[in-house]
Amino acid sequence: TVFSEFKNLCVWNKTNGGMGSFYRSKHELVFVFKKGSAPHINNFGLGDTGRYRTNVWDYPGISSLGAARDEELAMHPTVKPVALIADAIRDCSKRGDTVLDVFGGSGSTLIAAEQCGRAARLLELDPLYCDTIIRRFERVTGEPARLEGNGSTFQQISGERLSDSVNGRQEDDAATATNTKLMKGAA
């Protein structure tokens, strides 16, 4: 089991309703779970730490970002505000902890974890969004992303893969030309 105990259901209350259904949705649900039998982490303690939090979270949605909206939507159709995720991370984890996001999307969780002093592990199925996450991380941090195994940068790996792809296409074109000549010779 990934999660062992349901802690709360929070509502992300967006500034404006989004596009879509019969009623324009102005909220998203955020389910809060904990894992394992250790006590859960509560970094706001009903305001004891100066952070007063409720289970209704007011953050702007993508439709209220104005000029920045187009740039955000170019990254991913369901971009989440980094501030929302950063606050959630601060609520229930400690510096140095690892945060998991199994829907990496545009990398908002990775950016938020970096800002909060946490490590992050993201999963994303779409290679285009994997590249988006890495490029966004590099832009925000000003540092090149590096492959853990050998320290290669994203730019180096991208260049190698592009070169391999071009070489592979040239080999495919040469094989097709040879097969075409063979077929013409057999006719």
- Residue the block writes with tokens 């259901």: 9
pLDDT band at 90 (very low <50, low <70, confident <90, very high): very high
- What is the topology classification, in CATH, of domain 5-145? Rossmann fold (3.40.50)
Band of the pLDDT at 29, cuts 50, 70, 90? Answer: very high
Q: Is the pLDDT of residue 32 over 80?
A: yes
Listed residue (106, 161, 101) closest to 153, CA to CA: 161
- For residue 153, pLDDT over 80 is answered with yes
- Nearby residues of 116 by Cβ (< 8 Å), 6 or more positions away: 86, 89, 90, 93, 95
- For the chain, domain boundaries: 5-145, 153-187
Looking at residue 91, its pLDDT comes to 92
- pLDDT, one tens digit per residue, over 108-152 is 999 999 999 999 999 999 999 999 999 999 999 999 999 888 999
Mean predicted lDDT score pLDDT of the chain? 83
Average pLDDT over residues 77-106: 91
Output the six-digit token pair for 6. 């349901």
List pLDDT tens digits, range 47-85. Answer: 676 778 899 999 988 766 555 555 665 666 678 899 999
pLDDT value, residue 133 = 93
DSSP 154: H
| Mean pLDDT across 23-39 | 88
pLDDT of residue 134: 94
**Residues 126 and 93: beta-carbon distance below 8 Å:** no
